[in-house]
Structure 1
Protein backbone atom coordinates (compact mmCIF):
# COMPACT_ATOMS: atom_id res chain seq x y z
CA UNK A 1 0.00 0.00 0.00
CA UNK A 2 1.21 3.58 -0.64
CA UNK A 3 2.24 5.60 2.42
CA UNK A 4 -0.50 7.42 4.34
CA UNK A 5 0.82 10.87 3.47
CA UNK A 6 0.59 10.05 -0.25
CA UNK A 7 -2.96 8.75 0.12
CA UNK A 8 -4.02 11.91 1.96
CA UNK A 9 -2.33 14.14 -0.61
CA UNK A 10 -3.96 12.15 -3.40
CA UNK A 11 -7.48 12.54 -2.03
CA UNK A 12 -6.90 16.28 -1.55
CA UNK A 13 -5.59 16.70 -5.11
CA UNK A 14 -8.42 14.64 -6.61
CA UNK A 15 -11.04 16.59 -4.64
CA UNK A 16 -9.55 19.89 -5.76
CA UNK A 17 -9.47 18.73 -9.39
CA UNK A 18 -13.07 17.50 -9.20
CA UNK A 19 -14.22 20.79 -7.68
CA UNK A 20 -12.38 22.69 -10.43
CA UNK A 21 -14.06 20.63 -13.15
CA UNK A 22 -17.50 21.16 -11.57
CA UNK A 23 -16.90 24.91 -11.27
CA UNK A 24 -16.01 25.21 -14.96
CA UNK A 25 -18.94 23.04 -16.06
CA UNK A 26 -21.35 25.07 -13.91
CA UNK A 27 -19.98 28.34 -15.25
CA UNK A 28 -20.59 27.17 -18.80
CA UNK A 29 -23.90 25.39 -18.54
CA UNK A 30 -25.59 27.17 -15.62
CA UNK A 31 -24.18 30.70 -15.79
CA UNK A 32 -24.37 30.55 -19.57
CA UNK A 33 -20.75 31.18 -20.54
CA UNK A 34 -21.00 28.72 -23.42
CA UNK A 35 -17.99 28.35 -25.69
CA UNK A 36 -18.06 29.46 -29.29
CA UNK A 37 -16.40 26.14 -30.19
CA UNK A 38 -18.71 23.64 -28.48
CA UNK A 39 -16.13 20.88 -28.04
CA UNK A 40 -14.22 23.21 -25.69
CA UNK A 41 -17.12 22.88 -23.25
CA UNK A 42 -15.88 19.33 -22.74
CA UNK A 43 -12.17 20.12 -23.01
CA UNK A 44 -12.04 22.67 -20.19
CA UNK A 45 -13.66 20.51 -17.45
CA UNK A 46 -11.67 17.44 -18.52
CA UNK A 47 -8.44 19.46 -18.38
CA UNK A 48 -9.36 20.43 -14.82
CA UNK A 49 -9.40 16.73 -13.88
CA UNK A 50 -5.61 16.75 -13.96
CA UNK A 51 -4.64 20.44 -13.84
CA UNK A 52 -7.13 21.48 -11.15
CA UNK A 53 -7.05 25.22 -10.30
CA UNK A 54 -4.53 25.86 -13.09
CA UNK A 55 -7.26 24.85 -15.57
CA UNK A 56 -9.68 27.25 -13.85
CA UNK A 57 -7.14 30.05 -14.32
CA UNK A 58 -6.68 29.12 -17.99
CA UNK A 59 -10.43 28.95 -18.51
CA UNK A 60 -11.02 32.33 -16.91
CA UNK A 61 -8.26 33.96 -18.94
CA UNK A 62 -8.64 32.24 -22.32
CA UNK A 63 -12.00 30.45 -22.20
CA UNK A 64 -14.18 33.33 -21.03
CA UNK A 65 -13.24 35.61 -23.96
CA UNK A 66 -14.42 32.82 -26.31
CA UNK A 67 -17.91 33.02 -24.78
CA UNK A 68 -20.37 35.30 -26.66
CA UNK A 69 -22.34 35.88 -23.44
CA UNK A 70 -19.22 36.82 -21.47
CA UNK A 71 -18.32 39.39 -24.13
CA UNK A 72 -21.89 40.68 -24.23
CA UNK A 73 -21.89 41.16 -20.45
CA UNK A 74 -18.81 43.39 -20.86
CA UNK A 75 -20.04 45.04 -24.06
CA UNK A 76 -17.07 43.74 -26.02
CA UNK A 77 -17.47 43.22 -29.74
CA UNK A 78 -14.35 41.07 -30.03
CA UNK A 79 -12.32 38.87 -27.70
CA UNK A 80 -9.40 40.67 -26.03
CA UNK A 81 -6.00 40.14 -27.58
CA UNK A 82 -4.15 37.21 -26.04
CA UNK A 83 -0.52 36.04 -26.06
CA UNK A 84 0.58 33.83 -28.95
CA UNK A 85 1.51 30.94 -26.66
CA UNK A 86 -2.08 30.66 -25.43
CA UNK A 87 -3.11 29.13 -28.76
CA UNK A 88 -0.58 26.35 -28.25
CA UNK A 89 -1.60 25.90 -24.62
CA UNK A 90 -5.26 25.53 -25.55
CA UNK A 91 -4.39 23.19 -28.42
CA UNK A 92 -2.41 20.92 -26.10
CA UNK A 93 -5.33 20.95 -23.65
CA UNK A 94 -7.61 19.88 -26.49
CA UNK A 95 -5.29 16.95 -27.26
CA UNK A 96 -4.90 16.16 -23.56
CA UNK A 97 -8.66 15.99 -23.03
CA UNK A 98 -8.94 13.17 -25.56
CA UNK A 99 -6.02 11.37 -23.93
CA UNK A 100 -7.49 11.81 -20.46
CA UNK A 101 -10.88 10.36 -21.38
CA UNK A 102 -9.24 7.44 -23.18
CA UNK A 103 -6.94 6.75 -20.25
CA UNK A 104 -9.76 6.84 -17.73
CA UNK A 105 -11.79 4.29 -19.67
CA UNK A 106 -8.85 2.03 -20.51
CA UNK A 107 -7.36 1.92 -17.01
CA UNK A 108 -10.64 0.79 -15.47
CA UNK A 109 -11.20 -1.75 -18.26
CA UNK A 110 -7.74 -3.31 -17.88
CA UNK A 111 -8.18 -3.42 -14.11
CA UNK A 112 -11.68 -4.88 -14.35
CA UNK A 113 -10.64 -7.66 -16.73
CA UNK A 114 -7.39 -8.31 -14.86
CA UNK A 115 -5.47 -8.15 -18.15
CA UNK A 116 -1.70 -8.75 -18.06
CA UNK A 117 1.13 -9.41 -20.51
CA UNK A 118 4.22 -11.22 -19.19
CA UNK A 119 2.73 -10.79 -15.76
CA UNK A 120 2.43 -7.00 -16.00
CA UNK A 121 -0.68 -4.85 -16.34
CA UNK A 122 1.44 -2.00 -17.67
CA UNK A 123 1.56 -3.27 -21.26
CA UNK A 124 -2.23 -3.79 -21.60
CA UNK A 125 -2.65 -0.34 -20.06
CA UNK A 126 -0.38 1.14 -22.72
CA UNK A 127 -2.31 -0.57 -25.52
CA UNK A 128 -5.75 0.31 -24.16
CA UNK A 129 -4.77 3.86 -23.26
CA UNK A 130 -3.34 4.59 -26.69
CA UNK A 131 -6.21 3.07 -28.70
CA UNK A 132 -8.94 4.80 -26.73
CA UNK A 133 -7.00 8.06 -26.47
CA UNK A 134 -6.60 7.99 -30.25
CA UNK A 135 -10.33 7.39 -30.73
CA UNK A 136 -11.35 10.19 -28.37
CA UNK A 137 -8.60 12.49 -29.63
CA UNK A 138 -9.60 12.20 -33.28
CA UNK A 139 -13.26 12.68 -32.33
CA UNK A 140 -12.38 15.83 -30.38
CA UNK A 141 -10.33 17.15 -33.29
CA UNK A 142 -13.10 16.34 -35.75
CA UNK A 143 -15.62 18.42 -33.82
CA UNK A 144 -13.13 21.29 -33.74
CA UNK A 145 -11.86 21.15 -37.33
CA UNK A 146 -14.89 20.04 -39.35
CA UNK A 147 -17.22 22.91 -38.32
CA UNK A 148 -14.39 25.45 -38.62
CA UNK A 149 -13.44 24.39 -42.16
CA UNK A 150 -16.86 23.22 -43.34
CA UNK A 151 -15.69 19.64 -43.96
CA UNK A 152 -17.73 16.47 -44.40
CA UNK A 153 -17.30 13.34 -42.31
CA UNK A 154 -14.52 11.64 -44.30
CA UNK A 155 -12.47 14.76 -44.97
CA UNK A 156 -13.01 15.96 -41.41
CA UNK A 157 -11.80 12.69 -39.90
CA UNK A 158 -8.73 12.69 -42.15
CA UNK A 159 -7.79 16.23 -41.15
CA UNK A 160 -8.50 15.41 -37.51
CA UNK A 161 -6.14 12.43 -37.68
CA UNK A 162 -3.42 14.55 -39.30
CA UNK A 163 -3.77 17.15 -36.57
CA UNK A 164 -4.00 14.79 -33.61
CA UNK A 165 -1.98 11.59 -34.11
CA UNK A 166 1.45 13.17 -33.61
CA UNK A 167 0.21 15.46 -30.86
CA UNK A 168 -1.52 12.63 -29.02
CA UNK A 169 1.47 10.32 -29.39
CA UNK A 170 3.75 12.98 -27.92
CA UNK A 171 1.37 13.37 -24.99
CA UNK A 172 1.27 9.63 -24.37
CA UNK A 173 5.08 9.33 -24.56
CA UNK A 174 5.37 11.56 -21.50
CA UNK A 175 2.51 9.86 -19.70
CA UNK A 176 3.73 6.33 -20.49
CA UNK A 177 7.26 7.14 -19.36
CA UNK A 178 5.91 8.42 -16.05
CA UNK A 179 3.65 5.37 -15.66
CA UNK A 180 6.64 3.05 -16.15
CA UNK A 181 8.64 4.96 -13.54
CA UNK A 182 5.77 4.79 -11.03
CA UNK A 183 4.80 1.14 -11.57
CA UNK A 184 8.23 -0.37 -12.08
CA UNK A 185 10.47 1.77 -9.86
CA UNK A 186 8.63 3.91 -7.31
CA UNK A 187 5.72 1.62 -6.37
CA UNK A 188 6.20 -1.74 -8.10
CA UNK A 189 3.01 -3.87 -8.00
CA UNK A 190 1.45 -1.67 -5.31
CA UNK A 191 -0.77 0.82 -7.15
CA UNK A 192 -4.08 0.00 -8.82
CA UNK A 193 -6.99 2.12 -10.08
CA UNK A 194 -8.91 1.46 -6.85
CA UNK A 195 -6.29 3.50 -4.94
CA UNK A 196 -6.49 7.31 -4.82
CA UNK A 197 -2.70 7.47 -5.18
CA UNK A 198 -2.92 5.76 -8.57
CA UNK A 199 -5.07 8.57 -9.97
CA UNK A 200 -3.08 11.32 -8.32
CA UNK A 201 0.08 9.99 -9.95
CA UNK A 202 -1.83 9.70 -13.23
CA UNK A 203 -2.63 13.40 -12.85
CA UNK A 204 1.10 14.08 -12.56
CA UNK A 205 1.72 11.88 -15.61
CA UNK A 206 -0.83 13.82 -17.64
CA UNK A 207 0.91 17.07 -16.75
CA UNK A 208 4.19 15.50 -17.90
CA UNK A 209 2.42 14.46 -21.12
CA UNK A 210 1.13 18.01 -21.56
CA UNK A 211 4.69 19.31 -21.72
CA UNK A 212 6.03 16.54 -23.96
CA UNK A 213 3.20 17.36 -26.40
CA UNK A 214 3.98 21.09 -26.42
CA UNK A 215 6.88 21.10 -28.97
CA UNK A 216 4.90 18.88 -31.34
CA UNK A 217 1.92 21.24 -31.20
CA UNK A 218 4.16 24.23 -31.91
CA UNK A 219 5.47 22.42 -35.00
CA UNK A 220 1.99 21.34 -36.16
CA UNK A 221 0.62 24.85 -35.82
CA UNK A 222 3.57 26.42 -37.64
CA UNK A 223 3.13 23.97 -40.51
CA UNK A 224 -0.58 24.74 -40.72
CA UNK A 225 -1.53 21.14 -39.96
CA UNK A 226 -3.28 22.12 -36.74
CA UNK A 227 -5.18 25.29 -35.91
CA UNK A 228 -4.06 27.54 -33.05
CA UNK A 229 -7.06 27.47 -30.70
Structure 2
Protein backbone atom coordinates (compact mmCIF):
# COMPACT_ATOMS: atom_id res chain seq x y z
CA UNK A 1 0.00 0.00 0.00
CA UNK A 2 1.64 3.26 -1.13
CA UNK A 3 1.78 6.53 0.79
CA UNK A 4 -0.70 8.31 -1.50
CA UNK A 5 -3.30 5.62 -0.90
CA UNK A 6 -2.87 5.97 2.87
CA UNK A 7 -3.03 9.77 2.75
CA UNK A 8 -6.09 9.56 0.51
CA UNK A 9 -7.83 7.23 2.93
CA UNK A 10 -7.07 9.57 5.83
CA UNK A 11 -8.49 12.63 4.04
CA UNK A 12 -11.57 10.80 2.77
CA UNK A 13 -12.13 9.54 6.32
CA UNK A 14 -11.69 13.07 7.70
CA UNK A 15 -14.22 14.36 5.19
CA UNK A 16 -16.71 11.72 6.26
CA UNK A 17 -16.07 12.52 9.94
CA UNK A 18 -16.50 16.29 9.44
CA UNK A 19 -19.71 15.73 7.48
CA UNK A 20 -21.01 13.41 10.22
CA UNK A 21 -20.22 15.97 12.94
CA UNK A 22 -22.19 18.67 11.10
CA UNK A 23 -25.03 16.25 10.33
CA UNK A 24 -25.39 15.36 14.00
CA UNK A 25 -25.08 18.98 15.12
CA UNK A 26 -27.78 20.15 12.72
CA UNK A 27 -30.11 17.32 13.73
CA UNK A 28 -29.76 18.23 17.39
CA UNK A 29 -31.94 21.23 16.60
CA UNK A 30 -29.56 23.68 14.92
CA UNK A 31 -31.45 23.86 11.64
CA UNK A 32 -30.50 26.46 9.08
CA UNK A 33 -32.93 29.27 8.21
CA UNK A 34 -32.72 28.04 4.61
CA UNK A 35 -33.43 24.27 4.73
CA UNK A 36 -31.23 23.56 1.69
CA UNK A 37 -28.21 24.78 3.66
CA UNK A 38 -28.66 21.84 6.05
CA UNK A 39 -27.56 19.67 3.13
CA UNK A 40 -25.06 22.16 1.71
CA UNK A 41 -22.98 22.35 4.90
CA UNK A 42 -22.77 18.57 5.16
CA UNK A 43 -21.59 18.21 1.55
CA UNK A 44 -19.14 21.10 1.95
CA UNK A 45 -17.51 19.46 4.97
CA UNK A 46 -17.31 16.12 3.16
CA UNK A 47 -14.83 17.55 0.64
CA UNK A 48 -13.22 20.55 2.37
CA UNK A 49 -12.86 18.68 5.67
CA UNK A 50 -11.60 20.85 8.53
CA UNK A 51 -11.85 24.10 6.54
CA UNK A 52 -15.56 23.50 6.06
CA UNK A 53 -15.97 22.40 9.67
CA UNK A 54 -14.25 25.55 10.93
CA UNK A 55 -16.38 27.82 8.75
CA UNK A 56 -19.54 26.02 9.85
CA UNK A 57 -18.84 26.47 13.55
CA UNK A 58 -17.47 30.00 13.11
CA UNK A 59 -20.05 31.46 10.73
CA UNK A 60 -22.67 28.92 9.68
CA UNK A 61 -23.90 27.22 12.83
CA UNK A 62 -27.47 28.16 13.71
CA UNK A 63 -28.82 28.56 17.20
CA UNK A 64 -31.33 26.00 18.37
CA UNK A 65 -34.89 27.10 17.65
CA UNK A 66 -35.82 26.91 21.34
CA UNK A 67 -32.80 29.05 22.27
CA UNK A 68 -33.73 31.63 19.63
CA UNK A 69 -37.30 31.80 20.88
CA UNK A 70 -36.18 32.09 24.50
CA UNK A 71 -33.65 34.81 23.80
CA UNK A 72 -36.05 36.84 21.71
CA UNK A 73 -38.85 36.42 24.24
CA UNK A 74 -36.55 37.65 27.00
CA UNK A 75 -35.60 40.68 24.92
CA UNK A 76 -39.26 41.31 24.18
CA UNK A 77 -40.18 41.22 27.87
CA UNK A 78 -37.36 43.59 28.73
CA UNK A 79 -38.38 46.03 26.02
CA UNK A 80 -42.17 45.75 25.96
CA UNK A 81 -43.12 44.13 29.26
CA UNK A 82 -44.15 40.59 30.19
CA UNK A 83 -47.16 40.61 27.89
CA UNK A 84 -45.12 41.22 24.73
CA UNK A 85 -45.41 38.58 22.01
CA UNK A 86 -42.67 37.82 19.55
CA UNK A 87 -43.47 36.46 16.10
CA UNK A 88 -41.72 33.49 14.59
CA UNK A 89 -40.16 35.76 11.98
CA UNK A 90 -38.59 37.88 14.73
CA UNK A 91 -37.36 34.82 16.59
CA UNK A 92 -35.58 33.44 13.57
CA UNK A 93 -33.72 36.64 12.70
CA UNK A 94 -29.94 36.29 12.92
CA UNK A 95 -28.20 38.02 15.81
CA UNK A 96 -26.03 40.14 13.55
CA UNK A 97 -25.26 40.72 9.90
CA UNK A 98 -22.55 38.50 8.46
CA UNK A 99 -19.60 40.15 6.66
CA UNK A 100 -19.85 40.26 2.88
CA UNK A 101 -16.97 37.83 2.40
CA UNK A 102 -18.76 35.29 4.61
CA UNK A 103 -22.00 35.71 2.66
CA UNK A 104 -20.11 35.08 -0.56
CA UNK A 105 -18.34 32.04 0.92
CA UNK A 106 -21.61 30.51 2.13
CA UNK A 107 -23.27 31.18 -1.23
CA UNK A 108 -20.28 29.52 -2.89
CA UNK A 109 -20.70 26.45 -0.67
CA UNK A 110 -24.35 26.32 -1.72
CA UNK A 111 -23.22 26.26 -5.35
CA UNK A 112 -20.51 23.72 -4.52
CA UNK A 113 -22.97 21.45 -2.73
CA UNK A 114 -25.05 21.07 -5.86
CA UNK A 115 -21.94 20.38 -7.94
CA UNK A 116 -20.52 18.03 -5.31
CA UNK A 117 -23.72 15.99 -5.05
CA UNK A 118 -23.89 15.81 -8.85
CA UNK A 119 -20.24 14.74 -9.16
CA UNK A 120 -20.64 11.97 -6.56
CA UNK A 121 -23.69 10.62 -8.36
CA UNK A 122 -22.36 10.92 -11.91
CA UNK A 123 -18.85 9.60 -11.19
CA UNK A 124 -20.29 6.43 -9.66
CA UNK A 125 -22.68 6.11 -12.60
CA UNK A 126 -19.83 6.49 -15.11
CA UNK A 127 -17.54 4.04 -13.31
CA UNK A 128 -20.01 1.25 -12.61
CA UNK A 129 -21.72 1.53 -16.01
CA UNK A 130 -18.38 1.72 -17.84
CA UNK A 131 -19.32 4.88 -19.76
CA UNK A 132 -16.69 6.46 -22.03
CA UNK A 133 -16.74 9.31 -24.56
CA UNK A 134 -14.16 9.48 -27.35
CA UNK A 135 -12.58 6.34 -25.93
CA UNK A 136 -11.86 7.73 -22.47
CA UNK A 137 -13.76 7.94 -19.18
CA UNK A 138 -12.41 11.42 -18.39
CA UNK A 139 -14.38 13.02 -21.24
CA UNK A 140 -17.50 11.23 -20.03
CA UNK A 141 -16.79 12.63 -16.58
CA UNK A 142 -16.45 16.19 -17.84
CA UNK A 143 -19.64 16.08 -19.92
CA UNK A 144 -21.91 14.02 -17.67
CA UNK A 145 -20.69 15.72 -14.49
CA UNK A 146 -21.58 19.10 -15.97
CA UNK A 147 -25.05 18.00 -17.03
CA UNK A 148 -25.84 16.65 -13.58
CA UNK A 149 -24.22 19.71 -11.96
CA UNK A 150 -26.62 21.93 -13.91
CA UNK A 151 -29.59 19.85 -12.78
CA UNK A 152 -28.55 19.60 -9.12
CA UNK A 153 -27.29 23.18 -8.97
CA UNK A 154 -30.43 24.76 -10.41
CA UNK A 155 -32.64 22.66 -8.10
CA UNK A 156 -30.54 23.71 -5.09
CA UNK A 157 -30.81 27.36 -6.18
CA UNK A 158 -34.57 27.07 -6.69
CA UNK A 159 -34.91 25.69 -3.15
CA UNK A 160 -32.93 28.71 -1.97
CA UNK A 161 -34.99 31.29 -3.88
CA UNK A 162 -38.50 29.99 -3.07
CA UNK A 163 -38.44 30.70 0.69
CA UNK A 164 -36.57 33.99 0.15
CA UNK A 165 -38.85 35.29 -2.63
CA UNK A 166 -42.35 33.90 -1.92
CA UNK A 167 -43.92 36.55 -4.16
CA UNK A 168 -42.43 34.88 -7.25
CA UNK A 169 -44.36 32.31 -9.23
CA UNK A 170 -42.77 28.90 -9.66
CA UNK A 171 -41.85 29.75 -13.22
CA UNK A 172 -40.18 32.99 -12.17
CA UNK A 173 -38.33 31.20 -9.37
CA UNK A 174 -37.01 28.58 -11.79
CA UNK A 175 -35.95 31.30 -14.26
CA UNK A 176 -34.11 33.17 -11.51
CA UNK A 177 -32.48 29.94 -10.35
CA UNK A 178 -31.14 29.26 -13.84
CA UNK A 179 -29.92 32.84 -14.24
CA UNK A 180 -28.20 32.84 -10.85
CA UNK A 181 -26.63 29.40 -10.91
CA UNK A 182 -25.46 28.53 -14.42
CA UNK A 183 -22.50 30.93 -14.36
CA UNK A 184 -21.49 30.18 -10.76
CA UNK A 185 -21.66 26.40 -11.11
CA UNK A 186 -19.80 26.57 -14.42
CA UNK A 187 -16.96 28.44 -12.71
CA UNK A 188 -17.00 25.84 -9.93
CA UNK A 189 -16.85 22.92 -12.34
CA UNK A 190 -14.05 24.56 -14.35
CA UNK A 191 -11.90 24.74 -11.23
CA UNK A 192 -12.55 21.10 -10.46
CA UNK A 193 -12.00 20.05 -14.09
CA UNK A 194 -8.69 21.91 -14.20
CA UNK A 195 -7.35 19.91 -11.27
CA UNK A 196 -8.62 16.56 -12.57
CA UNK A 197 -7.09 17.34 -15.98
CA UNK A 198 -3.72 18.00 -14.33
CA UNK A 199 -3.96 14.73 -12.40
CA UNK A 200 -4.89 12.79 -15.53
CA UNK A 201 -2.74 14.39 -18.24
CA UNK A 202 0.25 15.78 -16.29
CA UNK A 203 0.63 13.35 -13.39
CA UNK A 204 -0.80 10.56 -15.57
CA UNK A 205 -2.43 9.10 -12.50
CA UNK A 206 -5.03 6.38 -13.19
CA UNK A 207 -8.21 7.21 -11.31
CA UNK A 208 -11.10 4.89 -10.54
CA UNK A 209 -14.18 5.76 -8.51
CA UNK A 210 -13.75 2.70 -6.29
CA UNK A 211 -10.47 3.98 -4.78
CA UNK A 212 -9.66 6.40 -1.97
CA UNK A 213 -7.17 8.15 -4.26
CA UNK A 214 -9.90 9.10 -6.72
CA UNK A 215 -12.09 10.64 -4.03
CA UNK A 216 -9.13 12.44 -2.45
CA UNK A 217 -8.37 14.01 -5.83
CA UNK A 218 -12.06 14.92 -6.08
CA UNK A 219 -11.88 16.53 -2.62
CA UNK A 220 -9.00 18.70 -3.83
CA UNK A 221 -10.79 19.48 -7.08
CA UNK A 222 -14.02 20.47 -5.35
CA UNK A 223 -12.11 22.70 -2.93
CA UNK A 224 -10.41 24.39 -5.88
CA UNK A 225 -13.85 24.79 -7.44
CA UNK A 226 -14.96 26.57 -4.28
CA UNK A 227 -12.13 29.06 -4.83
CA UNK A 228 -12.83 29.61 -8.53
CA UNK A 229 -16.55 30.18 -8.00
CA UNK A 230 -16.00 32.65 -5.13
CA UNK A 231 -15.33 35.79 -7.25
CA UNK A 232 -18.21 34.88 -9.56
CA UNK A 233 -20.58 34.58 -6.61
CA UNK A 234 -19.32 37.92 -5.31
CA UNK A 235 -20.23 39.63 -8.59
CA UNK A 236 -23.62 37.89 -8.80
CA UNK A 237 -24.52 38.94 -5.25
CA UNK A 238 -23.25 42.52 -5.65
CA UNK A 239 -25.26 42.97 -8.84
CA UNK A 240 -28.39 41.49 -7.25
CA UNK A 241 -28.60 38.55 -9.64
CA UNK A 242 -28.10 36.01 -6.85
CA UNK A 243 -29.70 35.97 -3.41
CA UNK A 244 -27.06 35.40 -0.70
CA UNK A 245 -27.51 32.23 1.34
CA UNK A 246 -26.66 33.90 4.66
TM-score of the pair, normalised by structure 2: 0.86
Counterpart position of 1:194: 210
Closer/same/farther in 2, CA of residues 68 and 9 from structure 1, 3 Å limit = same
Counterpart position of 2:183: 166
Counterpart position of 1:20: 18
Please say if 1:154 is aligned against 2:171.
yes
Alpha-carbon RMSD across the aligned residues, in angstroms, is 1.7
Please say if 1:219 is aligned against 2:241.
no
Deviation at 1:66, TM superposition (A): 6.4
TM-score of the pair, normalised by structure 1: 0.92
Deviation at 1:74, TM superposition (A): 6.1
The CA distance in 1 between the partners of 2:23 and 2:43, in whole Å, is 9
2:122 to 94, 106, 109: 106
The CA distance in 1 between the partners of 2:38 and 2:66, in whole Å, is 14
Offset from partner CA, 1:10-52 (integer Å, 9 cap, x none): 11101111011111111111x1111111111100001011111
- Aligned 1:128-139 pairs, distance under 5 A: 128-139=144-155
Based on CA coordinates, which of the two structures has the bigger radius of gyration? Answer: 2
Deviation at 1:67, TM superposition (A): 5.4
1:46 to 13, 35, 43: 43
2:223 to 196, 203, 207: 207
Closer/same/farther in 2, CA of residues 48 and 215 from structure 1, 3 Å limit = same
Moved more, 77-86 or 90-99: 77-86
Moved more, 153-162 or 167-176: 153-162
Gaps of 5+ in 1: none
1:64 to 40, 61, 75: 61
Counterpart position of 1:183: 200
CA contact (8 A) 2:184 2:232 kept: yes
Gaps of 5+ in 2: 76-90
Deviation at 1:73, TM superposition (A): 6.8
Offset from partner CA, 1:141-191 (integer Å, 9 cap, x none): 001101110123211111111110000000011111111111122134x21
